[in-house]
Amino acid sequence: TDSTVNTEFDKESVLRRIREAKLEIGSSDLFTSVVASLREGLVILENPTVKEIICFGLGRIGECMISRYQFAFLLCLKDHYNVGRIKVYDPVFTETDRSILESFQCDILKENFEGKYRVPDKTTTIFYMPHCPKQLSNNLLWANWGVNLNYCILIANSFNTIVDNTIRRILNKNASYILNIIPHVVELAVINTFKFYEIFNDTAIHIFPWNKLKLLSDDFWSLNSEPNYSDEDIRDGRARMVSKVNTLRQIISELRCALPENSLKNNLALQYILSQYRKYKTTSEQLCKAREEVEFVANTYLCYLKSSRLHQEIHAEFHGKGERSVRETANLVGFKLPHDPK
């Protein structure tokens, strides 16, 4: 059928873009920096072999540019460490996403662990959690709390940035394991010079050396109750929703001023933004990269509408009917303008 042909065409197009992105990432200074930092980390960990790579929160790779580049990065890691099949999970995956992932020999986990994934005994594992909420990293720490952390290599948002930029009260409630382990983690920097800076912004590599973990007391490790998050995240989600609604209201208001009456519903840009807002919803545990892109598009469009309106207002105020433009005046008096080819 036509729909099947279109789906296959779209999939092939995405596969091609991912391969192109992989070539870009693999030859980038960013990936060189990541490999160098991982090499340093593995030396500190006494050179274990990376046996597994697991990714949570990748987003919709079939439709989102950010997710595609992050997936390309994941594939570069897979090739570099010669890992057979990588494991991935995100509750927002579509059937198209799943088909794409299977094309690259990825195993899609059937259970939503919400980051609470315990590595098998003595299996050094790289976890890649691109721009995921701090609760996901916190859950991963809880699941491996103890000696098992020594086998976890976490590529995620910088713990130091999280601790520095979050109120202590919020950390105690929603990221207590990050807060407790921060003095004992080695955070390795990633030099982000990639052309799309935001895709890998604030990414860092975290390792948990045995020579640090073994010095901690039994009392330290005994504080290991399963994370139970407060309403803080719900309020954060509501705040994001309020921001989104305000942006939409302002766009509609600007369009009503700019467009003829009753033509609002036919504005393609508005319809696109509305449809994407509805499409990219997130759970409290996972962050969809496409939502970030849509919000950026909406705010950019709003900026364009406001600028257009202000330009018209300024033009109307300072260029009245009885006034002439510079060119009109020049033509009237026979003056040749510097840029006039005549």
List of residues 6+ apart from 257 with CB closer than 8 A? 309
In angstroms, the Cα distances linking 187 to 37, 181, 212 are 10, 11, 13
Candidates 91, 170, 93, 92; CA nearest to 138 is 170
Instruction: Give the integer Cα–Cα distance in Å for 169 and 176.
Output: 10
Residue type, 22: K
**252/113: higher pLDDT:** 113
Domains of the chain: 2-222 (3.40.50), 232-320 (no CATH)
The model's confidence at residue 317, banded by pLDDT at 50, 70 and 90, is low
Average pLDDT, the chain: 83
Mean per-residue pLDDT for 61-89? 93
> What per-residue string of b and e applies to 251-274 under the rule 16 or more CB within 10 Å gives b?
beebbeeeeeeeeeeebeebeebb
Query: Which of the residue ranges 9-18, 58-67, 144-153, 224-233 would you say has the lowest mean pLDDT?
Result: 224-233
Q: Quick one: what percent of the chain has pLDDT higher than 70?
A: 75
Q: Which long-range contacts (CB under 8 A, 24 or more apart) does 269-277 make?
A: 269/301, 273/248, 273/297, 273/298, 273/301, 274/248, 277/244, 277/248
**Residue 168 contacts residue 227 (beta carbons within 8 Å):** no
Q: pLDDT tens-digit profile of 192-201?
A: 999 888 889 8
Residue 43 has pLDDT above 80, yes or no: yes
Residue 115 has a pLDDT of 92
Phi, psi (deg, nearest 5) at residue 58: -75, -30
The model's confidence at residue 283, banded by pLDDT at 50, 70 and 90, is very low
Q: pLDDT tens-digit profile of 170-221?
A: 888 889 999 999 999 999 999 999 988 888 989 999 999 999 999 999 999 9
Sheet holding 52-56, edge to edge: 106-108, 86-89, 52-56, 125-128, 152-157, 203-207, 186-189
Strand, helix or coil for residue 131? coil
Q: How many CA atoms lie within 13 A of 129 on its CB side?
A: 30
Residue 5 has a pLDDT of 44
In angstroms, the Cα distances linking 69 to 11, 190, 277, 278, 285 are 16, 16, 22, 23, 21
The model's confidence at residue 234, banded by pLDDT at 50, 70 and 90, is very low
**Residue 180 contacts residue 146 (beta carbons within 8 Å):** no
**319/81: higher pLDDT:** 81
CB atoms within 10 A of CB 227: 18
